[in-house]
Structure 1
């Protein structure tokens, strides 16, 4: 399969300098409609009585949850921290209570797989130097959870590091409803800590750094825009407390050519995924 990169030299230079890149109109209105309708269908079919696993970037409640551990090769549903009342009942309909659907949505579901393995996506990764590139995030109205400052390489680590985040806005993302924020150029400082799984359980290997919020810039984008995120870029999003949802599809790519997953990754697959393409 002959893959040709689609980024310009100026775009690659900006990405290397700033650690992120916004590609407007990356997804067509038809793409967005297809992904959103499919997610609505998956949520309608999800039996929430069989799982109450919570996804949080502020604590690791889910780290002792086998449902979370076994999600690497499944489509699993994770609730917002504020989804349940004191009696363990959902405070809102399940469609408004889910934080994240993962971790193999792009590998199993045909609609998400079609978009994730499209020629446009493959061409983008080729532009970034991937040779064998081998998670859906939903922020809901009213209770969209905060995502604390982090680096994607902390959670998806290969040797050498190759993770790139691909964040597709399925709706307009603004300061009001929880857009991404990043510290431009912070990827140049390297990885500060890793989320690992060892004989002591699942934990970070270093305490969280302190960041000056004045260093962050908002990345406001229109629906259909793709934000490309370097694996070492410091980024975050704030809680969406507005009445407007901010749905997004988040995919992470790593290169399997000359790289390998480290044995202490928190998430582990039993079978390696097929690459999107091979040069």
Structure 2
């Protein structure tokens, strides 16, 4: 498996492992995710968007300080002008993050499983740590587009080490918003970064260091996958997903692993662990 995984990621920037989770594990994660909305705060509903450049997360400490917490982010189309829900609460959320792997036992069990450790081992990680985790809803009708991006924009390490683990809990299809990749784009470097604003007087807590590149849509390859598969994503691979305009949801659980041995996690990354709660390490090679 080691050579196959490494070769595919080096060639395309991503790799797919079918049947990574058992049907029972998929059901358990899906049921846990479907219940997350019950704990979402009612007094202050935060919208998350990767498309709207003026979205509130760049100015909001609720997002900035979510690295070691479980916090709730709604779809733009689910919230009215006065913060009222426009849809049923069960389909209103965009995502929940970014510490499910720490604070929710169901997601922690999968994230820290021997299977995940084995993949990290095969990929050559010496001392892997989990930087963040997210439950992504992509609910029918309101599940928004995720713009073309690289994960290294948000979780930058030197040298490059970040690998995304993306696990669909329902079949991801062309109709409900499967991932699309530009094959080989991981060899083109980091195109821009999303960082903490060095200007402490600005109300923009987070900024991009340069404009967004333009990626021709014809360059993307759709990657539909079945529930329980694992998609491994190189941090520099350009990928996106379309809005879900179908009548079927596309729930997914995703987390990101970084190397911590002879590798530096950038101090200006938007997500920073508290000093007393560092990123949890999966294992350390002897």
Q: Same fold (TM over 0.5)?
A: yes
2:242 and 2:40 mapped to 1: Cα distance?
A: 28
1:160 and 1:136 mapped to 2: Cα distance?
A: 27
Preserved CA contact (<8 Å) 1:48 1:94: no
Tell me the SS of whatever aligns to 1:9: helix
Q: 1:50 aligns with which of 17, 22, 43?
A: 43
Alpha-carbon displacement from aligned partner over 1:169-212 (angstroms, at most 9, x marks no partner): 10000110000000001001111100010223311111011111
Partner of 1:231: 235
Q: When the two structures are aligned, how many residues end up with a matched partner?
A: 272
1:47 and 1:11 mapped to 2: Cα distance?
A: 38
CA RMSD, aligned part only?
1.2
Partner of 1:128: 123
Q: How does 1:26-175 map to 2 (within 5 A)?
A: 26-44=20-38, 46-58=39-51, 59=53, 60-134=55-129, 135-175=134-174
Deviation larger for 62-71 or 220-229:
62-71
TM-score relative to the length of structure 1:
0.94
User: What is the deviation of 1:87?
Assistant: 3.4
Tell me the SS of whatever aligns to 1:48: coil
1:11 and 1:62 mapped to 2: Cα distance?
A: 35
Gaps of 5+ in 1: 1-6
Partner of 1:4: none
Alpha-carbon displacement from aligned partner over 1:100-135 (angstroms, at most 9, x marks no partner): 110001111111000001011110011111111112
Preserved CA contact (<8 Å) 2:177 2:242: yes
User: What is the deviation of 1:86?
Assistant: 3.0
2:112 and 2:83 mapped to 1: Cα distance?
A: 39
Gaps of 5+ in 2: 200-204
Tell me the SS of whatever aligns to 1:254: strand
Partner of 1:249: 253
Preserved CA contact (<8 Å) 1:178 1:238: yes
